[in-house]
Amino acid sequence: MDSIIVRGNGPLHGQIPIAGAKNACLALMPATLLSEEPLTLTNAPRLSDIRTMTELLASLGAEVTGLQDGKVLATSCHGEITPVADYDIVRKMRASNLVLGPLLARLGHAVVSLPGGCAIGARPMDIHIDALSALGAEIELKDGYLHAQALGGLRGALHEMRFASVGATENFLMAAVLAKGTSVLKNAAREPEIVDLARCLRAMGAEIEGEGSSTITIQGVDRLHGATHPVVTDRIELGTYMLAPAICGGEVECLGGKIELVESFCEKLDAAGVSVEETATGLKVKRKNGRIRAVDVVTEPFPGFPTDLQAQMMALLATAEGTSVLEEKIFENRFMHAPELMRMGARIEVQGGQATVHGVEKLKGARVMATDLRASVSLILAGLAAEGETVVSRVYHLDRGYERVEEKLGAVGAKIERVKGE
């Protein structure tokens, strides 16, 4: 397996282009199942998760082209559809469950394996099942597969989720656009990826109102047509690269960045002593003065602080002046990066869903192991400011969510290289 070697070498300067959002693209791609006409996605990221979703859609009968070129994905689902999402593909990635809603809407039945992905918590499917059941689906778990059917088609309904799940909101949206009548989803997720999916579905002919709020209304239509849609900027990649100059010093402009995508994150950066300035082309980030200050962080659904930036924020706070407390309220097993940061000299105490970080003046390079996608990049960020050499192993996690990380950081002055595994 590949490794990333990082050598701390001071401030960073320059520009980093931010890719289209992985999590948005993974929800947009299954929308092709809803129409016989082509769906073209621009600004698509080149990631292993996108390749996995391509493989899954192809197994269902869709055609996906343009992946090797990057930026543009052309999808089409005009032929016969196979309603079975097999374990061998679905196990690789949690977002594979997003084919369930579209298959039910298009065919009236589906068999979808329980999904896999990063080992950061249970993330159960019952919220998805409850949402789709409200639309008239009958869903049964047998031998690790969800067997779903909607005899006579899906029908509009009012449903309130007990938790604002992003994936369940996306599945409900894609199922409800072809359901008979009006559907109302309460306590809906408000993430930018939800807004992006709603805009794409509307471009395909869906009737949707309220995306970005906690109540979304969908008026079912008989059919959807093709469309071309630009994938929204990846707010997690944006936040990650904003932390690079905060940790190392210097000044970096993140091209394509917008404050509205990371507002709560920016508030914490400001409190920690990091300046974020909106420019005509993105966000310019630099330290204000001196050492980073400790801040407390609680992860919450959007518009709160993103759980997907918690690990990276911990890397920043590891060298802050004072003591920070990070509380993880989204996933119960998301501090696996803490012991690896401690190998680099960080002082961290973890108790349940809370991590207490006592800032140290300097981290030291070490051999560390990535345990999940966001943990992997947090260790790279820590290595940028550490004394000596940091070797991050098991970076196959990294390739699921970050496009050409060595090139992007190298272009602003980081000493970073990838070493191919034997």
Binding-site annotation: residue ranges for UDP-N-acetyl-alpha-D-glucosamine: 94, 308, 330
Binding site: what residues are annotated?
A: 22-23, 94, 308, 330
Amino acid at 267: E
Chain length of the chain: 422
Nearest-angstrom CA–CA distance, 17 and 90: 30
Q: Write the DSSP string, 345-391.
A: T-EEEEETTEEEEE--S--B--EEE--SHHHHHHHHHHHHHSBSEEE
- In the sheet that holds 347-351, the strands lie side by side as 297-298, 323-327, 354-358, 347-351
Cβ within 8 Å of residue 407, ≥6 positions away: none
25, 77, 118, 200: the active-site residue: 118
Structure tokens, 49: 């998760």
- In the sheet that holds 71-76, the strands lie side by side as 63-65, 71-76, 39-44, 227-230
Backbone angles phi, psi at 167, to 5 degrees: -60, -40
Is residue 118 part of the annotated active site? The answer reads yes
Buried b (16+ CB within 10 A) or exposed e, 66-93: bbeebeebbbbbeeebebbbbbebbbbb
Nearest-angstrom CA–CA distance, 225 and 178: 12
Nearest to 356 by CA among 319, 326, 311, 312: 326
Binding site for phosphoenolpyruvate: what residues are annotated?
A: 22-23
Q: If 0-12 CB within 10 Å is exposed, 13-18 middle and 19+ buried, where does residue 329 land?
A: middle
Nearest-angstrom CA–CA distance, 152 and 315: 52
Instruction: Return the SS3 of 360.
Output: coil
Known catalytic residues? 118
